[in-house]
Amino acid sequence: MKAIENIINQFNTTSLKEMDNVKLLNRVDTKFICSIFKLKDVLNDLLKFYKVLEINDQRLMSYRTKYYDTFDFRMFLEHQNGKLNRYKVREREYINSDLNFLEVKFKNNKRRTLKSRIVKTESFNWFTNKEIDFLDYKSPFSSEELQIKLINTFQRITLCNQTERVTIDFKLKFEDGNGGIGTLPLLAIIEVKQDKYSINSDVIQVLRKHKVRSNSFSKYCIGTSMIYPHLKSNRFKSKILLINKLSA
């Protein structure tokens, strides 16, 4: 981990305000997974193309996410069953910047990701009237049927240029709030966020050079598969085998 910190300290920096020009709330996401050991080489090659987000002198950011689902895991099972036009509802805490949002992510049948969010001013395990209205408007799920099913923590490096963002997540930990815990300490998830997919992206070219291939990855679905083994999850078994191989 120290080697990764040494590399990101060599990047030029950007701020949250500067990154507002690349919000990409309606975007195409392309994900890649690799071992934490290969990440060092990837970052070295990205140095000249991207800036790194820095907040309060920190470049490694800590995140905490609460994922909501129905009592019978409807959102998880829709993903497991390959349904398009699917949703995720989550509360995400940006620990370093002291920000907290309630978010609805919608993946449509054209594989575009549309994210809507509002600031969450209270960190209670219930919804305010404003949040209830937001959920009713942005999702097909009522606040009464939603429960916290998974808590996820991780660290993130955020890179950007003028047209795209790149997030790199690692040190993943999953909890159900009742003692169930799963960890993926040696896995890195790289996500390229673009207005339109372009193979000419510098990061995609670097990843191809290092033989890191695109691979869908849902923190909620993988974490839920680990914590709730009784749920049907055959769609994710090959992914979990690959993760185990990369983490060996």
Per-residue pLDDT tens digits for 60-70: 999 999 999 99
Is the predicted pLDDT of residue 176 greater than 70, yes or no? yes
Per-residue pLDDT of 158-169, as tens digits, reads: 999 888 889 999
Amino acid at 248: A
Per-residue pLDDT of 108-119, as tens digits, reads: 887 788 889 999
The C-alpha atoms of residue 98 and residue 100 are separated, in whole angstroms, by 7
Compute how many other C-beta atoms are within 10 angstroms of the C-beta atom of residue 185. 11
In DSSP terms, 192 is beta-bridged to: 30, 166
Q: What is the separation, in whole angstroms, between the first and last Cα of the chain?
A: 17
Per-residue pLDDT of 36-54, as tens digits, reads: 999 999 999 999 999 999 9
Is the predicted pLDDT of residue 24 greater than 70, yes or no? no
Mean pLDDT of 124-148: 91
CATH topology of domain 2-246: mRNA Triphosphatase Cet1; Chain A (3.20.100)
The C-alpha atoms of residue 207 and residue 39 are separated, in whole angstroms, by 10
Max Cα–Cα distance, the chain, nearest Å: 50
Cβ atoms 224, 149 nearer than 8 A: yes
The C-alpha atoms of residue 58 and residue 55 are separated, in whole angstroms, by 5
Show the tokens assigned to 22: 């690349």
Per-residue pLDDT of 69-89, as tens digits, reads: 999 999 999 999 988 889 999
Containing H/E element for 76? helix 74-80
